[in-house]
Amino acid sequence: MNEFICRLGTPSGEIITRVVEAAGVADARSRLESEGFRVFAVSSASEGLTAVLTGGSKQSKVKQADFLLFNQQLSALLRAGIPVLQAIGLLKTRSASANMRTVLVDVEEKIKNGIPLSEAFESQGIFPRIYTASILAGERSGALDDVLARFVTYLKRSVGVSRKLRGALAYPAFLLLAALLMVAFLTLYIVPRMSDLFKGLSANRTLPTITLVVLWFSNTIASNILWLGPLLIIGGLAVYVWLRTNNGKLLLHKFLLKIPIAGQLIRNMTTAQLARSLSTLLSGGLTVPDSWDIASQAINNLELRRRSQGVLPMIREGRGFTEALEHADWMPQLGLDMIGIGERSGSLREMLDEVATFYDAEAEVRLEQFTTLLEPMILLVMAGIVVSILLAIYLPIIQMISAGPMSGRR
């Protein structure tokens, strides 16, 4: 058995690199395709990563904003009665994104060769499966424009949530960076320059404990910075690489779920995203099992995705959808109750829309709570560190000044 480095596209649209053991290239490719991956490149491990990384996906990933704009325009053109091929040709020349233009050139060529639109987009390997499945459902039902319009609404909400999340975390991240830079400046620049003064003071009296601790910490870092710096960089890169593996991501995602407010926020956001994905797919005419199979693969938290693996087998065994979701044991109870009402009343798709709207609003509240709590926590912790360093610097000087007159009287 030989080892091969493979560049793959996952069903959720991610591009990953994986090492597999197989008898040959064809065996590795067929095995991975049977597991649901789209294989872009297969290279012998002895050739290194270069061949795979350079021979991977033909196109770079399209930005979410460009993808949203394209689908808005395509939906509008289809509603106006313009044929698919002509609409793709028009958008190909007008797109401001070079990556999107490259994709559309290939899609147009495949459509001319008789390949359906859904398959043409799926062959690019850079789009989420929910998108290609929605297009396929629209092609089968003959309502491609309506399905695309619903997908655009879904994508708008997803983009809006992502922007809110990034905006909410930007200020705490800035505070943390600024505080770390201030601590580094005091520890590595100010304290070492005060060490000569502290040595003179320690000859006459004992320095405060906090000063001794800060001096030891600062001198240790300053004297070993030549090997500590590279070690921290290598360690950080190693942790970053490990967190990109499935085991690393799973451990991190489990930890995030245990954080009081953050864990509930993740559950609410995942519930909203999942409900909206299911509603979009069901509106295209897909069955509940097929919709769940596609939508569940887009769950970002690996621990929640792992818990959801038993839902599809239970549905196919004839169990109720709500019962299967309860077995996964992560979705909020109110969401389960709403889905159960929709399932029993025959209005599951409409109720999923309501669940998505409700938990979007709930996630916004949780996000505001999280950032409101995070900002003062960062400020308090870093203020405590800075105050400790300043006390270590000024306490000996204050003691010397206060002891000066007393020593003069004696």
- DSSP assignment of 153-220 equals HHHHHHHHHHHHHHHHHHHHHHHHHHHHHHHHHIIIIIHHHHHHHHHHHHHHSPPPHHHHHHHHHHHH
Residues 6+ apart with CB under 8 A from 355: 271, 272, 275, 335, 338, 339
**Cα 18 from Cα 34, distance rounded (Å):** 15
Predicted TM-score (pTM) of the model is 0.66
Domain boundary assignment for the chain: 2-54, 64-127, 154-410
Q: What is the pLDDT along the chain (410 residues), one digit of tens a residue?
A: 566 767 677 776 555 667 777 777 777 888 888 888 877 767 654 443 333 333 344 445 788 888 888 888 988 898 888 888 899 988 888 888 888 888 899 888 888 888 888 888 888 878 887 888 888 878 877 778 888 888 888 788 777 777 877 887 788 888 888 888 888 887 778 877 777 677 666 655 677 888 888 888 888 887 887 888 889 899 989 998 988 888 888 899 999 999 888 888 889 989 988 898 888 888 877 889 888 988 887 788 889 989 998 899 999 888 899 999 999 889 999 999 999 999 999 899 899 989 988 998 888 888 888 888 888 888 888 888 888 888 888 888 787 777 655 544 44
pLDDT of residue 150: 81
CA-nearest of 62, 73, 90, 69 to 145 is: 73
Tokens standing for residue 349: 């798709």
**Cα 275 from Cα 296, distance rounded (Å):** 10
